[in-house]
Structure 1
Amino acid sequence: MSRLNIILVFIAIIFLAGCSAQDEEKAAVTESMKDVEYSNDIGEAEDSSKEESITEAEESTTNPTISQRKIIHKANISANVKELTVAQEKITEKVSKYNGYIVESNNFQESDSRSHGRMVVRVPEEHFETFLSEAEGQVTKVLERNITGEDVTEQYVDLESRLKSKRAVEARLLVFMESAEKTEDLLKISADLAKVQEEIEVIVGKIKYLDNQTSFSTIELNFYEDRVIVPSIENKELNTWEKTKKQFVQSVNALLMIGSWIIVFLLGNLPVLLVIGIVSFLSIWFIRKRRKDKE
Protein backbone atom coordinates (compact mmCIF):
# COMPACT_ATOMS: atom_id res chain seq x y z
CA MET A 1 0.00 0.00 0.00
CA SER A 2 1.39 3.33 -1.04
CA ARG A 3 1.90 6.20 1.32
CA LEU A 4 -0.89 8.14 -0.38
CA ASN A 5 -3.40 5.36 0.30
CA ILE A 6 -2.40 5.23 3.95
CA ILE A 7 -2.94 8.96 4.29
CA LEU A 8 -6.36 8.70 2.64
CA VAL A 9 -7.42 5.85 4.95
CA PHE A 10 -6.26 7.81 8.00
CA ILE A 11 -8.21 10.90 6.86
CA ALA A 12 -11.31 8.76 6.31
CA ILE A 13 -11.07 7.29 9.84
CA ILE A 14 -10.75 10.78 11.35
CA PHE A 15 -13.75 11.96 9.34
CA LEU A 16 -15.92 9.03 10.45
CA ALA A 17 -14.93 9.53 14.11
CA GLY A 18 -15.84 13.21 13.89
CA CYS A 19 -19.23 12.40 12.40
CA SER A 20 -19.93 9.85 15.16
CA ALA A 21 -19.04 12.39 17.86
CA GLN A 22 -21.32 14.95 16.25
CA ASP A 23 -24.18 12.46 16.18
CA GLU A 24 -23.72 11.63 19.85
CA GLU A 25 -23.58 15.31 20.73
CA LYS A 26 -26.75 15.96 18.74
CA ALA A 27 -28.48 13.05 20.47
CA ALA A 28 -27.48 14.36 23.88
CA VAL A 29 -28.65 17.85 22.99
CA THR A 30 -31.93 16.42 21.68
CA GLU A 31 -32.42 14.40 24.88
CA SER A 32 -31.73 17.40 27.09
CA MET A 33 -34.10 19.47 24.99
CA LYS A 34 -36.75 16.80 25.50
CA ASP A 35 -36.20 16.97 29.27
CA VAL A 36 -36.44 20.74 29.17
CA GLU A 37 -39.56 20.48 27.04
CA TYR A 38 -41.05 17.94 29.49
CA SER A 39 -40.37 20.21 32.47
CA ASN A 40 -41.58 23.29 30.63
CA ASP A 41 -44.78 21.59 29.52
CA ILE A 42 -45.54 20.42 33.05
CA GLY A 43 -44.74 23.84 34.46
CA GLU A 44 -46.81 25.62 31.83
CA ALA A 45 -49.76 23.30 32.43
CA GLU A 46 -49.65 23.94 36.16
CA ASP A 47 -49.08 27.69 35.77
CA SER A 48 -51.89 28.13 33.28
CA SER A 49 -54.26 26.17 35.51
CA LYS A 50 -53.21 28.23 38.50
CA GLU A 51 -53.84 31.49 36.66
CA GLU A 52 -57.31 30.36 35.59
CA SER A 53 -58.06 29.09 39.08
CA ILE A 54 -56.90 32.31 40.74
CA THR A 55 -59.17 34.30 38.47
CA GLU A 56 -62.11 32.03 39.29
CA ALA A 57 -61.29 32.16 43.00
CA GLU A 58 -61.23 35.97 43.00
CA GLU A 59 -64.56 36.10 41.18
CA SER A 60 -66.11 33.51 43.52
CA THR A 61 -65.03 35.20 46.74
CA THR A 62 -65.92 38.74 45.63
CA ASN A 63 -69.24 37.89 43.99
CA PRO A 64 -71.45 35.65 46.16
CA THR A 65 -73.86 35.00 43.29
CA ILE A 66 -71.23 33.11 41.29
CA SER A 67 -70.57 30.46 43.93
CA GLN A 68 -72.62 29.65 47.01
CA ARG A 69 -70.74 30.57 50.15
CA LYS A 70 -69.49 27.72 52.32
CA ILE A 71 -70.22 28.24 56.02
CA ILE A 72 -69.78 25.72 58.85
CA HIS A 73 -72.54 26.27 61.45
CA LYS A 74 -72.33 24.92 65.00
CA ALA A 75 -74.68 25.41 67.95
CA ASN A 76 -74.55 24.59 71.65
CA ILE A 77 -77.75 24.70 73.73
CA SER A 78 -78.18 23.99 77.45
CA ALA A 79 -81.70 23.91 78.88
CA ASN A 80 -83.97 22.59 81.63
CA VAL A 81 -86.66 20.06 80.72
CA LYS A 82 -89.60 18.52 82.57
CA GLU A 83 -88.86 14.93 81.54
CA LEU A 84 -85.47 14.06 80.11
CA THR A 85 -86.48 10.91 78.23
CA VAL A 86 -89.47 12.62 76.61
CA ALA A 87 -87.34 15.57 75.45
CA GLN A 88 -84.75 13.24 73.93
CA GLU A 89 -87.43 11.27 72.11
CA LYS A 90 -88.85 14.49 70.64
CA ILE A 91 -85.39 15.57 69.45
CA THR A 92 -84.82 12.16 67.86
CA GLU A 93 -88.09 12.50 65.96
CA LYS A 94 -87.17 15.96 64.67
CA VAL A 95 -83.71 14.79 63.57
CA SER A 96 -85.36 12.03 61.55
CA LYS A 97 -87.91 14.53 60.20
CA TYR A 98 -85.18 16.73 58.69
CA ASN A 99 -83.10 13.79 57.38
CA GLY A 100 -80.32 14.34 59.91
CA TYR A 101 -78.53 11.84 62.13
CA ILE A 102 -77.49 11.44 65.76
CA VAL A 103 -73.76 11.42 66.46
CA GLU A 104 -73.96 10.87 70.22
CA SER A 105 -76.63 10.41 72.90
CA ASN A 106 -75.90 9.88 76.61
CA ASN A 107 -77.71 10.06 79.97
CA PHE A 108 -76.09 10.79 83.34
CA GLN A 109 -77.55 10.55 86.86
CA GLU A 110 -75.76 13.41 88.62
CA SER A 111 -77.73 12.99 91.87
CA ASP A 112 -81.03 11.60 93.19
CA SER A 113 -82.77 14.81 92.15
CA ARG A 114 -80.87 15.76 88.97
CA SER A 115 -80.40 14.01 85.60
CA HIS A 116 -78.32 15.17 82.64
CA GLY A 117 -78.74 14.18 79.00
CA ARG A 118 -76.33 15.05 76.20
CA MET A 119 -77.05 14.74 72.48
CA VAL A 120 -74.91 15.67 69.46
CA VAL A 121 -76.90 15.77 66.23
CA ARG A 122 -76.31 16.86 62.64
CA VAL A 123 -79.02 18.28 60.42
CA PRO A 124 -78.91 19.63 56.84
CA GLU A 125 -77.74 23.23 56.65
CA GLU A 126 -81.01 24.48 55.18
CA HIS A 127 -82.92 23.25 58.27
CA PHE A 128 -80.46 24.61 60.84
CA GLU A 129 -82.49 27.58 62.12
CA THR A 130 -85.81 25.71 61.95
CA PHE A 131 -84.45 22.77 63.93
CA LEU A 132 -83.01 25.08 66.61
CA SER A 133 -86.34 26.86 66.99
CA GLU A 134 -88.29 23.60 67.33
CA ALA A 135 -85.70 22.09 69.70
CA GLU A 136 -85.96 25.09 72.02
CA GLY A 137 -89.72 24.62 71.99
CA GLN A 138 -89.30 21.30 73.80
CA VAL A 139 -87.58 22.79 76.87
CA THR A 140 -88.86 24.71 79.90
CA LYS A 141 -85.96 27.16 80.13
CA VAL A 142 -82.92 27.86 77.94
CA LEU A 143 -79.83 28.21 80.13
CA GLU A 144 -77.25 28.80 77.37
CA ARG A 145 -77.39 29.34 73.60
CA ASN A 146 -74.21 29.62 71.57
CA ILE A 147 -74.15 29.66 67.74
CA THR A 148 -71.00 29.99 65.60
CA GLY A 149 -70.41 30.17 61.86
CA GLU A 150 -67.09 29.73 60.07
CA ASP A 151 -66.83 30.97 56.47
CA VAL A 152 -64.61 28.53 54.53
CA THR A 153 -65.52 29.76 51.04
CA GLU A 154 -62.02 31.02 50.27
CA GLN A 155 -60.44 27.81 51.55
CA TYR A 156 -62.87 25.72 49.51
CA VAL A 157 -62.26 27.69 46.29
CA ASP A 158 -58.49 27.46 46.84
CA LEU A 159 -58.74 23.67 47.15
CA GLU A 160 -60.80 23.47 43.97
CA SER A 161 -58.19 25.61 42.19
CA ARG A 162 -55.37 23.40 43.36
CA LEU A 163 -57.31 20.32 42.32
CA LYS A 164 -57.88 21.70 38.83
CA SER A 165 -54.18 22.52 38.51
CA LYS A 166 -53.13 19.05 39.62
CA ARG A 167 -55.65 17.44 37.22
CA ALA A 168 -54.06 19.36 34.34
CA VAL A 169 -50.59 18.15 35.35
CA GLU A 170 -51.90 14.59 35.67
CA ALA A 171 -53.36 14.72 32.15
CA ARG A 172 -50.08 16.04 30.72
CA LEU A 173 -48.09 13.33 32.50
CA LEU A 174 -50.37 10.65 31.06
CA VAL A 175 -49.69 12.04 27.56
CA PHE A 176 -45.93 11.91 28.18
CA MET A 177 -46.21 8.38 29.53
CA GLU A 178 -47.91 7.18 26.35
CA SER A 179 -45.15 8.69 24.18
CA ALA A 180 -42.23 7.62 26.38
CA GLU A 181 -39.83 5.23 24.66
CA LYS A 182 -37.05 4.71 27.17
CA THR A 183 -37.45 2.82 30.42
CA GLU A 184 -35.76 5.53 32.47
CA ASP A 185 -38.14 8.15 31.07
CA LEU A 186 -41.11 5.94 31.86
CA LEU A 187 -39.92 5.43 35.43
CA LYS A 188 -39.41 9.16 35.95
CA ILE A 189 -42.84 10.02 34.57
CA SER A 190 -44.45 7.26 36.66
CA ALA A 191 -42.85 8.64 39.83
CA ASP A 192 -44.04 12.17 39.03
CA LEU A 193 -47.51 10.87 38.20
CA ALA A 194 -47.77 8.92 41.48
CA LYS A 195 -46.76 12.02 43.45
CA VAL A 196 -49.34 14.18 41.66
CA GLN A 197 -52.10 11.59 42.13
CA GLU A 198 -51.30 11.36 45.84
CA GLU A 199 -51.61 15.15 46.12
CA ILE A 200 -54.92 14.95 44.25
CA GLU A 201 -56.26 12.37 46.76
CA VAL A 202 -55.32 14.63 49.69
CA ILE A 203 -57.03 17.63 48.12
CA VAL A 204 -60.14 15.61 47.25
CA GLY A 205 -60.30 14.38 50.88
CA LYS A 206 -60.18 17.95 52.20
CA ILE A 207 -62.88 19.05 49.76
CA LYS A 208 -65.14 16.17 50.81
CA TYR A 209 -64.61 17.08 54.48
CA LEU A 210 -65.57 20.72 53.86
CA ASP A 211 -68.57 19.58 51.82
CA ASN A 212 -69.74 17.44 54.72
CA GLN A 213 -69.15 20.13 57.33
CA THR A 214 -70.98 22.80 55.31
CA SER A 215 -73.82 20.53 54.16
CA PHE A 216 -74.71 19.43 57.72
CA SER A 217 -74.73 21.65 60.80
CA THR A 218 -73.60 20.26 64.17
CA ILE A 219 -75.80 20.90 67.21
CA GLU A 220 -74.94 19.89 70.80
CA LEU A 221 -77.86 19.70 73.23
CA ASN A 222 -77.50 19.46 77.02
CA PHE A 223 -80.75 18.79 78.89
CA TYR A 224 -81.15 18.91 82.68
CA GLU A 225 -84.07 17.43 84.60
CA ASP A 226 -84.53 18.52 88.24
CA ARG A 227 -86.89 16.46 90.42
CA VAL A 228 -88.31 17.27 93.88
CA ILE A 229 -88.16 14.16 96.05
CA VAL A 230 -90.88 13.96 98.77
CA PRO A 231 -90.08 11.36 101.45
CA SER A 232 -92.88 8.85 102.14
CA ILE A 233 -93.77 6.85 105.24
CA GLU A 234 -92.95 3.23 104.75
CA ASN A 235 -94.47 0.90 107.37
CA LYS A 236 -92.16 -1.84 106.28
CA GLU A 237 -89.23 -0.05 107.86
CA LEU A 238 -90.94 0.23 111.32
CA ASN A 239 -90.76 -3.53 112.19
CA THR A 240 -92.24 -2.92 115.66
CA TRP A 241 -92.62 -6.59 116.64
CA GLU A 242 -89.16 -7.53 115.44
CA LYS A 243 -87.59 -4.61 117.27
CA THR A 244 -89.57 -5.51 120.49
CA LYS A 245 -88.30 -9.09 120.41
CA LYS A 246 -84.80 -7.86 119.80
CA GLN A 247 -84.98 -5.44 122.75
CA PHE A 248 -86.41 -8.17 125.05
CA VAL A 249 -83.62 -10.55 124.15
CA GLN A 250 -81.05 -7.80 124.72
CA SER A 251 -82.58 -7.09 128.18
CA VAL A 252 -82.50 -10.79 129.15
CA ASN A 253 -78.93 -11.05 127.96
CA ALA A 254 -78.04 -8.00 130.06
CA LEU A 255 -79.64 -9.54 133.19
CA LEU A 256 -77.89 -12.84 132.58
CA MET A 257 -74.64 -11.01 132.12
CA ILE A 258 -75.10 -9.10 135.39
CA GLY A 259 -76.07 -12.32 137.27
CA SER A 260 -73.09 -14.12 135.79
CA TRP A 261 -70.81 -11.30 136.86
CA ILE A 262 -72.21 -11.38 140.42
CA ILE A 263 -71.77 -15.17 140.69
CA VAL A 264 -68.24 -14.97 139.36
CA PHE A 265 -67.43 -12.15 141.76
CA LEU A 266 -68.83 -13.95 144.83
CA LEU A 267 -67.36 -17.35 144.13
CA GLY A 268 -64.07 -16.01 142.89
CA ASN A 269 -63.61 -13.78 145.94
CA LEU A 270 -65.15 -16.17 148.50
CA PRO A 271 -62.00 -16.56 150.69
CA VAL A 272 -61.57 -12.83 150.94
CA LEU A 273 -65.23 -12.31 151.64
CA LEU A 274 -65.19 -14.96 154.42
CA VAL A 275 -62.26 -13.25 156.12
CA ILE A 276 -63.92 -9.87 155.84
CA GLY A 277 -67.19 -11.34 157.18
CA ILE A 278 -65.53 -12.99 160.19
CA VAL A 279 -63.58 -9.86 161.07
CA SER A 280 -66.71 -7.74 160.72
CA PHE A 281 -68.74 -10.14 162.88
CA LEU A 282 -66.13 -10.24 165.66
CA SER A 283 -65.77 -6.47 165.62
CA ILE A 284 -69.51 -5.95 165.96
CA TRP A 285 -69.77 -8.58 168.71
CA PHE A 286 -66.92 -7.02 170.68
CA ILE A 287 -68.42 -3.51 170.45
CA ARG A 288 -71.86 -4.69 171.63
CA LYS A 289 -70.33 -6.58 174.57
CA ARG A 290 -68.47 -3.54 175.86
CA ARG A 291 -71.65 -1.47 175.71
CA LYS A 292 -73.47 -4.04 177.84
CA ASP A 293 -70.65 -4.15 180.41
CA LYS A 294 -70.80 -0.35 180.85
CA GLU A 295 -74.53 -0.41 181.41
Structure 2
Amino acid sequence: MKGYCFSLFLVFSLLVGCNKVDVTQPGAAAVSELNLVELNDEVVPTAQLRMSADAAAVGEQTPTAAQQSPVTASKKIIRSGHIAIESKTIKKSKQSLDALLTRYDGYYEQETLSSSGNYANYSLVARIPAERLDQFLKDLENGGDKLTERSLRSEDVSLQYVDSESRLKSKRAYLERYQQLLGQAKNVKDVLEIQEQIRQLQEDIDSQESIMRRLKDQLAFSSLSIQLFEYQANLPIGSQSFWIQLKEAFTDGWALLGDAAVFILRLWPFFLVFFGCYLLWRRFKRK
Protein backbone atom coordinates (compact mmCIF):
# COMPACT_ATOMS: atom_id res chain seq x y z
CA MET A 1 0.00 0.00 0.00
CA LYS A 2 2.80 2.44 0.91
CA GLY A 3 4.64 1.51 -2.27
CA TYR A 4 1.54 2.18 -4.35
CA CYS A 5 1.04 5.61 -2.74
CA PHE A 6 4.69 6.49 -3.27
CA SER A 7 4.39 5.60 -6.96
CA LEU A 8 1.30 7.78 -7.37
CA PHE A 9 3.07 10.70 -5.64
CA LEU A 10 6.12 10.31 -7.90
CA VAL A 11 3.98 10.29 -11.07
CA PHE A 12 2.02 13.32 -9.82
CA SER A 13 5.28 15.21 -9.13
CA LEU A 14 6.61 14.47 -12.62
CA LEU A 15 3.37 15.65 -14.22
CA VAL A 16 3.39 18.90 -12.24
CA GLY A 17 7.04 19.55 -13.21
CA CYS A 18 6.32 19.02 -16.91
CA ASN A 19 3.31 21.32 -16.76
CA LYS A 20 5.45 24.02 -15.10
CA VAL A 21 8.03 23.80 -17.88
CA ASP A 22 5.44 23.84 -20.71
CA VAL A 23 3.50 26.69 -19.13
CA THR A 24 6.62 28.77 -18.39
CA GLN A 25 8.04 28.75 -21.93
CA PRO A 26 4.85 29.82 -23.74
CA GLY A 27 4.22 32.30 -21.01
CA ALA A 28 7.66 33.87 -21.48
CA ALA A 29 7.11 34.09 -25.26
CA ALA A 30 3.70 35.67 -24.77
CA VAL A 31 5.09 38.19 -22.34
CA SER A 32 7.93 39.08 -24.73
CA GLU A 33 5.41 39.61 -27.56
CA LEU A 34 3.22 41.89 -25.46
CA ASN A 35 6.07 43.67 -23.71
CA LEU A 36 6.26 47.45 -24.21
CA VAL A 37 9.54 49.25 -24.85
CA GLU A 38 10.27 52.84 -23.97
CA LEU A 39 11.88 54.71 -26.85
CA ASN A 40 12.45 58.49 -26.76
CA ASP A 41 9.98 58.79 -23.86
CA GLU A 42 7.28 57.09 -25.97
CA VAL A 43 5.79 53.67 -25.35
CA VAL A 44 5.99 51.61 -28.54
CA PRO A 45 4.88 47.98 -28.87
CA THR A 46 7.67 45.55 -29.54
CA ALA A 47 5.86 44.18 -32.58
CA GLN A 48 6.01 47.61 -34.25
CA LEU A 49 9.73 47.92 -33.55
CA ARG A 50 10.24 44.52 -35.09
CA MET A 51 8.32 45.49 -38.19
CA SER A 52 10.37 48.71 -38.49
CA ALA A 53 13.59 46.78 -38.13
CA ASP A 54 12.51 44.27 -40.75
CA ALA A 55 11.57 47.09 -43.10
CA ALA A 56 14.95 48.73 -42.53
CA ALA A 57 16.70 45.47 -43.22
CA VAL A 58 14.74 44.99 -46.42
CA GLY A 59 15.54 48.58 -47.41
CA GLU A 60 19.25 47.95 -46.94
CA GLN A 61 19.17 44.79 -49.01
CA THR A 62 16.88 46.09 -51.79
CA PRO A 63 18.52 48.62 -54.15
CA THR A 64 16.79 51.90 -54.76
CA ALA A 65 14.90 52.66 -57.95
CA ALA A 66 17.78 54.79 -59.18
CA GLN A 67 20.19 51.87 -58.59
CA GLN A 68 17.90 49.41 -60.34
CA SER A 69 17.28 51.49 -63.46
CA PRO A 70 19.85 54.29 -63.86
CA VAL A 71 18.73 56.98 -66.28
CA THR A 72 21.31 57.67 -68.95
CA ALA A 73 20.58 60.77 -71.01
CA SER A 74 21.19 60.35 -74.73
CA LYS A 75 24.14 62.32 -76.04
CA LYS A 76 23.58 65.24 -78.40
CA ILE A 77 26.60 65.41 -80.71
CA ILE A 78 27.13 67.98 -83.47
CA ARG A 79 29.54 66.69 -86.12
CA SER A 80 31.36 68.79 -88.71
CA GLY A 81 34.48 68.55 -90.81
CA HIS A 82 36.65 69.70 -93.70
CA ILE A 83 38.03 67.82 -96.71
CA ALA A 84 40.16 68.79 -99.71
CA ILE A 85 39.75 66.90 -103.01
CA GLU A 86 42.33 66.91 -105.79
CA SER A 87 40.72 66.35 -109.18
CA LYS A 88 42.12 65.71 -112.66
CA THR A 89 38.92 66.90 -114.36
CA ILE A 90 37.18 69.32 -112.07
CA LYS A 91 33.98 69.54 -114.13
CA LYS A 92 33.48 65.79 -114.04
CA SER A 93 34.39 65.62 -110.35
CA LYS A 94 31.86 68.33 -109.54
CA GLN A 95 29.11 66.43 -111.33
CA SER A 96 30.00 63.23 -109.44
CA LEU A 97 29.99 65.12 -106.14
CA ASP A 98 26.56 66.59 -106.94
CA ALA A 99 25.14 63.14 -107.70
CA LEU A 100 26.65 61.64 -104.52
CA LEU A 101 25.26 64.44 -102.38
CA THR A 102 21.80 64.01 -103.88
CA ARG A 103 21.92 60.27 -103.23
CA TYR A 104 22.60 60.89 -99.54
CA ASP A 105 19.78 63.47 -99.24
CA GLY A 106 22.23 66.32 -98.70
CA TYR A 107 22.44 69.82 -100.13
CA TYR A 108 24.85 72.71 -100.65
CA GLU A 109 24.59 75.45 -98.08
CA GLN A 110 27.24 77.46 -99.90
CA GLU A 111 28.88 77.12 -103.34
CA THR A 112 31.67 79.35 -104.65
CA LEU A 113 33.58 78.96 -107.94
CA SER A 114 36.87 80.76 -108.48
CA SER A 115 39.30 80.48 -111.41
CA SER A 116 42.92 81.44 -111.87
CA GLY A 117 44.21 81.28 -115.42
CA ASN A 118 43.11 77.98 -116.88
CA TYR A 119 42.34 76.37 -113.55
CA ALA A 120 39.21 76.44 -111.43
CA ASN A 121 38.40 75.41 -107.88
CA TYR A 122 35.24 75.16 -105.80
CA SER A 123 34.71 76.16 -102.19
CA LEU A 124 31.65 74.25 -100.96
CA VAL A 125 29.76 73.82 -97.70
CA ALA A 126 27.60 70.69 -97.80
CA ARG A 127 24.94 69.62 -95.30
CA ILE A 128 24.64 65.84 -94.93
CA PRO A 129 22.39 63.78 -92.60
CA ALA A 130 24.49 63.13 -89.50
CA GLU A 131 23.87 59.39 -89.45
CA ARG A 132 25.10 59.08 -93.07
CA LEU A 133 28.22 61.25 -92.86
CA ASP A 134 30.68 58.37 -92.38
CA GLN A 135 29.34 56.45 -95.36
CA PHE A 136 29.43 59.62 -97.49
CA LEU A 137 33.12 60.14 -96.67
CA LYS A 138 33.84 56.49 -97.36
CA ASP A 139 32.31 56.76 -100.84
CA LEU A 140 34.38 59.87 -101.51
CA GLU A 141 37.57 58.05 -100.56
CA ASN A 142 36.67 55.15 -102.84
CA GLY A 143 36.00 57.50 -105.77
CA GLY A 144 38.35 58.45 -108.58
CA ASP A 145 39.62 61.63 -106.95
CA LYS A 146 42.23 61.97 -104.23
CA LEU A 147 41.50 63.27 -100.74
CA THR A 148 44.48 65.42 -99.73
CA GLU A 149 43.05 66.64 -96.44
CA ARG A 150 40.43 65.39 -94.00
CA SER A 151 39.45 66.57 -90.53
CA LEU A 152 36.38 65.82 -88.41
CA ARG A 153 35.26 67.23 -85.09
CA SER A 154 32.44 66.46 -82.65
CA GLU A 155 30.83 68.81 -80.14
CA ASP A 156 28.75 67.56 -77.23
CA VAL A 157 25.78 69.93 -76.72
CA SER A 158 23.76 67.65 -74.42
CA LEU A 159 23.79 70.08 -71.48
CA GLN A 160 22.89 73.04 -73.67
CA TYR A 161 20.08 71.07 -75.32
CA VAL A 162 18.59 69.87 -72.01
CA ASP A 163 18.92 73.35 -70.48
CA SER A 164 17.17 75.02 -73.42
CA GLU A 165 14.46 72.38 -73.45
CA SER A 166 13.87 72.82 -69.70
CA ARG A 167 13.77 76.62 -69.97
CA LEU A 168 11.30 76.42 -72.83
CA LYS A 169 9.02 74.07 -70.93
CA SER A 170 9.12 76.25 -67.81
CA LYS A 171 8.37 79.47 -69.69
CA ARG A 172 5.46 77.85 -71.51
CA ALA A 173 4.00 76.80 -68.16
CA TYR A 174 4.36 80.36 -66.84
CA LEU A 175 2.77 81.72 -69.99
CA GLU A 176 -0.21 79.43 -69.60
CA ARG A 177 -0.61 80.51 -65.98
CA TYR A 178 -0.46 84.22 -66.85
CA GLN A 179 -3.03 83.71 -69.58
CA GLN A 180 -5.34 82.18 -67.01
CA LEU A 181 -4.73 85.12 -64.66
CA LEU A 182 -5.49 87.56 -67.44
CA GLY A 183 -9.07 86.30 -67.57
CA GLN A 184 -9.37 86.79 -63.81
CA ALA A 185 -8.03 90.38 -63.70
CA LYS A 186 -10.47 92.85 -62.16
CA ASN A 187 -8.93 96.22 -63.09
CA VAL A 188 -6.96 97.84 -65.89
CA LYS A 189 -3.72 98.00 -63.89
CA ASP A 190 -3.66 94.23 -63.34
CA VAL A 191 -4.49 93.63 -67.00
CA LEU A 192 -1.59 95.82 -68.18
CA GLU A 193 0.89 94.19 -65.78
CA ILE A 194 -0.15 90.69 -66.81
CA GLN A 195 0.01 91.59 -70.50
CA GLU A 196 3.56 92.93 -70.04
CA GLN A 197 4.59 89.69 -68.36
CA ILE A 198 2.99 87.71 -71.19
CA ARG A 199 4.87 89.81 -73.77
CA GLN A 200 8.24 89.23 -72.09
CA LEU A 201 7.53 85.50 -71.73
CA GLN A 202 6.54 85.24 -75.39
CA GLU A 203 9.80 86.92 -76.44
CA ASP A 204 11.80 84.52 -74.25
CA ILE A 205 9.88 81.57 -75.68
CA ASP A 206 10.55 82.71 -79.26
CA SER A 207 14.26 83.08 -78.45
CA GLN A 208 14.45 79.61 -76.86
CA GLU A 209 12.54 78.07 -79.77
CA SER A 210 15.03 79.62 -82.18
CA ILE A 211 17.92 78.11 -80.19
CA MET A 212 16.22 74.71 -80.17
CA ARG A 213 15.58 74.83 -83.93
CA ARG A 214 19.21 75.67 -84.60
CA LEU A 215 20.45 72.87 -82.33
CA LYS A 216 18.10 70.35 -83.89
CA ASP A 217 19.19 71.38 -87.39
CA GLN A 218 22.88 71.05 -86.46
CA LEU A 219 22.22 67.67 -84.85
CA ALA A 220 20.26 66.37 -87.83
CA PHE A 221 22.63 67.61 -90.57
CA SER A 222 26.41 67.70 -90.33
CA SER A 223 28.33 70.53 -92.01
CA LEU A 224 31.18 69.50 -94.31
CA SER A 225 33.49 72.08 -95.88
CA ILE A 226 34.78 70.83 -99.26
CA GLN A 227 37.68 72.29 -101.24
CA LEU A 228 37.64 70.89 -104.80
CA PHE A 229 40.60 71.85 -107.02
CA GLU A 230 42.49 70.63 -110.10
CA TYR A 231 45.78 68.90 -109.54
CA GLN A 232 47.80 71.29 -111.77
CA ALA A 233 46.69 74.23 -109.67
CA ASN A 234 48.34 72.67 -106.64
CA LEU A 235 51.74 72.13 -108.27
CA PRO A 236 54.62 74.45 -107.30
CA ILE A 237 56.15 76.80 -109.86
CA GLY A 238 58.69 75.07 -112.13
CA SER A 239 57.33 71.56 -111.56
CA GLN A 240 55.16 71.48 -114.72
CA SER A 241 56.29 69.31 -117.60
CA PHE A 242 57.28 70.56 -121.08
CA TRP A 243 54.00 69.47 -122.66
CA ILE A 244 51.97 71.27 -120.04
CA GLN A 245 54.05 74.41 -120.63
CA LEU A 246 53.60 74.05 -124.39
CA LYS A 247 49.85 73.71 -123.96
CA GLU A 248 49.78 76.77 -121.75
CA ALA A 249 51.88 78.76 -124.26
CA PHE A 250 49.49 77.88 -127.10
CA THR A 251 46.48 78.77 -124.98
CA ASP A 252 48.04 82.02 -123.82
CA GLY A 253 49.00 82.95 -127.42
CA TRP A 254 45.48 82.34 -128.66
CA ALA A 255 44.09 84.39 -125.79
CA LEU A 256 46.59 87.18 -126.60
CA LEU A 257 45.49 87.16 -130.23
CA GLY A 258 41.90 87.51 -129.20
CA ASP A 259 42.75 90.37 -126.87
CA ALA A 260 44.64 92.11 -129.72
CA ALA A 261 41.67 91.74 -132.06
CA VAL A 262 39.38 93.23 -129.46
CA PHE A 263 41.82 96.09 -128.90
CA ILE A 264 41.98 96.82 -132.64
CA LEU A 265 38.21 96.85 -132.90
CA ARG A 266 38.08 99.39 -130.11
CA LEU A 267 40.20 101.75 -132.31
CA TRP A 268 37.73 101.83 -135.22
CA PRO A 269 36.95 105.60 -134.79
CA PHE A 270 40.62 106.43 -135.28
CA PHE A 271 40.78 104.24 -138.37
CA LEU A 272 37.70 105.99 -139.75
CA VAL A 273 39.20 109.44 -139.20
CA PHE A 274 42.50 108.33 -140.70
CA PHE A 275 40.77 106.91 -143.77
CA GLY A 276 38.82 110.14 -144.25
CA CYS A 277 41.97 112.19 -144.03
CA TYR A 278 43.63 109.94 -146.58
CA LEU A 279 40.78 110.40 -149.06
CA LEU A 280 40.95 114.18 -148.68
CA TRP A 281 44.69 114.16 -149.18
CA ARG A 282 44.42 112.16 -152.42
CA ARG A 283 41.67 114.46 -153.74
CA PHE A 284 43.77 117.52 -152.96
CA LYS A 285 46.80 115.98 -154.65
CA ARG A 286 44.86 115.29 -157.90
CA LYS A 287 43.79 118.90 -158.12
TM-score scaled by length of structure 2? 0.55
The one of 238, 246, 258 equivalent to 1:231 is: 246
- The 2-side partners of 1:189 and 1:116 are apart by 58
Give the 3-state SS of the residue equivalent to 2:110 in structure 1.
strand
The one of 93, 97, 102 equivalent to 2:99 is: 93
In proportion to residue count, which structure has more helix? 1
- The 2-side partners of 1:101 and 1:140 are apart by 20
Q: Shift of residue 174 of structure 1?
A: 0.9
Give the 3-state SS of the residue equivalent to 2:224 in structure 1.
strand
Relative distance call for 1:142 and 1:220 in structure 2 (3 A) is same
| 1:163 corresponds to 2:178 | no
Question: Retained in 2: the 8 A contact 1:81–1:141?
Answer: yes
What CA RMSD, in Å, does the superposition of the two structures yield over aligned residues?
A: 2.3
4+ long deviations beyond 4 Å? none
Question: Retained in 1: the 8 A contact 2:93–2:145?
Answer: no
Alignment of 1:214-229 (within 5 A): 214-227=219-232, 229=244
Aligned length: 172
Instruction: Give the match for residue 148 of structure 1.
Output: 153
| 1:80 corresponds to 2:86 | yes
Instruction: Give the match for residue 197 of structure 1.
Output: 202
Q: Shift of residue 153 of structure 1?
A: 1.0
AA partner of residue 222 (structure 1): Q
The one of 185, 192, 212 equivalent to 2:190 is: 185
Question: Retained in 2: the 8 A contact 1:82–1:139?
Answer: no
Q: Shift of residue 230 of structure 1?
A: 4.9
AA partner of residue 81 (structure 1): S
- The 1-side partners of 2:140 and 2:103 are apart by 12
Question: Retained in 2: the 8 A contact 1:98–1:127?
Answer: yes
Q: Shift of residue 124 of structure 1?
A: 0.8
AA partner of residue 231 (structure 1): L
Higher Rg: 1
Give the 3-state SS of the residue equivalent to 1:99 in structure 2.
coil
Instruction: Give the match for residue 77 of structure 2.
Output: 71
- The 2-side partners of 1:167 and 1:225 are apart by 54
- The 2-side partners of 1:106 and 1:76 are apart by 15
TM-score scaled by length of structure 1? 0.54
- The 2-side partners of 1:184 and 1:78 are apart by 64
- The 2-side partners of 1:219 and 1:129 are apart by 11
Relative distance call for 1:117 and 1:137 in structure 2 (3 A) is farther
Q: Shift of residue 155 of structure 1?
A: 0.1
